[in-house]
Amino acid sequence: MKKTIIAMLMVLVMVLCAVPAFAADGITDAEQAELDHFAAGVEINGKTVTPFDKYINVATDSLMHREYTAEELARVRTCVDECYVILKAENVTCFDDMKNSPRLQEVVDKCTTLANSLGYKLIFNYENGDVVLRTGFNMTATIIVAVALVAVIGAAVIVVSRKRLLAK
C-alpha cells in the first residue's frame, strides 16, 4: 500500500514539475534577427527613423515569452516592412508626424491583425502612441495540475477504502 501511494505521489510531482517546461527560453537567433530588423528603422529623406524604445521593449517582451515559428517570424517581417513603406510614403520623421497622418489607422490595423494572428491583443493609445500587447489569460496549466491532483487523491481514496486501511 505504501508503495502504491508513493508511486501516485511521484506521478503527481512529475506532473507538477513538467508544467513550467513549456515556457519560452530567451530569444532565438531568428527572433533576434527580426528584432534587429525592426529596431534598425527605415531611412526617410536621408535620415534613419527608428522605432521608439517603448515599441522595441514591447517586441522584446513578446519574443522573451514565446517561441515563434519561421512562418510567424516571416509574417512579422512582412508587417514591419509594410509599415515602413507607409512611413516612407508619408515622410514621417517622428510620432507627431504620423499622429496627424490619415494612414495611421492603416499602420495600427496591420499591427493589430498581426498581433491577433499571434495570439495577442494590441491596444494602441492614439494620444501618446503607447502600445500595450496583452496575452489571453490561460488556465490550461492550472487545470492540468488540478485534474492530476484530483486523480491522485481519488486513486488514493479508492485504494484506502478497498484495502480498508482506515478501518479499526
Domain layout of the chain by residue ranges: 24-135, 137-168
Whether the Cβ atoms of residue 19 and residue 145 lie closer than 8 Å to each other:
yes
| Contact (CB, 8 A) for 48 and 91 | no
Q: Which DSSP letter does residue 140 get? A: H
C-alpha span between 114 and 116 (Å, rounded): 5
Distances (CA, A) of 116 to 34, 64, 76, 107, 135: 18, 18, 12, 14, 10
Torsion of the alpha carbons at 80, 86, 87 and 88, rounded to the nearest 10: 110
Q: What is the pLDDT along the chain (168 residues), one digit of tens a residue?
A: 667 767 766 776 666 666 555 555 678 899 999 999 999 988 888 888 888 888 888 888 888 877 889 999 999 999 999 989 988 888 887 766 777 778 888 988 998 898 888 888 888 877 766 777 666 556 676 778 778 778 878 887 888 788 877 776
**Using CA of residue 82, residue 135, residue 36, residue 70, what is the dihedral sign?**
negative
| Residue 66 vs residues 24, 56, 71, 114: alpha-carbon distances, Å | 5, 16, 14, 15
With beta carbons less than 8 A apart as the criterion, state whether 48 and 84 touch: no
